[in-house]
Amino acid sequence: MYKRNTFILTVIFCSRMLGLDAQNLQSSIKVQAMEMANALVSRDYKAFVQHMHPSIVAFAGGPQKLIGNMDSASTVMQQFGIVFKKIFIGNPGQVIQYKDQLQCVVPQSTVMQSALGEMHAETSLVAISKDQGKTWYFIDTNVYHADKLKSILPDLSPNLQIPAQKQPTFTPAEQ
């Protein structure tokens, strides 16, 4: 009886510890994704690029080229009065361990504003950690579609469920 109770308590304790680890991973993913989103909204492209997966940064020509391209795009957006108003990071999905990496999908909602109105886009980020969840890198599936991701990131888990891209919605400004 004593052994059975000890076994049950051990199983409960281990289950709780595993649950806390999963919860800590989810919190870490969300916090780091929010840091990246805040960097984009505040136009701190150097900080933003540090949150992008290194393979994506390399594919885009390296950090300096990517930052330059983002700065140019931002200038054009400003000329048209378009700004990132808000970026919401949803709760990360199930974390998958695959080829010495942790991977998951994170929902993201972006609101851009212009004089004409607001555009709302529902997208997903793929989050990848190579250091057991301390550092997370993100890839926006709106920019790098699932079919292209697999060629850039060959170690992407086939079990990662990336939602289909949704059409953005537009709410006209009130006249």
Cβ contact 26:95 at 8 Å: yes
Question: Is 123's pLDDT higher than 70?
Answer: yes
pLDDT of residue 109: 95
CATH topology of domain 2-172: Nuclear Transport Factor 2; Chain: A, (3.10.450)
Q: Which two tokens stand for residue 84?
A: 């990132």
* pLDDT 10s digits, 135-153: 999 999 888 777 778 888 8
Arithmetic mean of pLDDT over the chain: 86
Percent above pLDDT 70 for the chain: 86
Contact 63, 71 (CB under 8 A): no
> Is residue 21 very low, low, confident or very high in pLDDT (cuts 50, 70, 90)?
low
The per-residue pLDDT for range 65-85, each reduced to its tens digit, is: 999 999 999 999 888 888 888
Closest CA to 51 of 152, 140, 132: 140
Can you give the pLDDT at residue 9? 42
Q: How many CB atoms sit inside 10 A of residue 134's CB?
A: 10
Above 90 in pLDDT, residue 57? Answer: yes
**pLDDT of residue 46 exceeding 80:** yes
Confidence of residue 167 (pLDDT cuts 50, 70, 90): very high
Domain locations in the chain as residue ranges: 2-172
Q: What tens digit of pLDDT does each residue of 84-98 get?
A: 889 999 999 999 999
Q: Which residue from 54, 81, 76, 57 is spatially nearest to 67, judged by alpha carbons? A: 57
pTM above 0.75, yes or no: yes
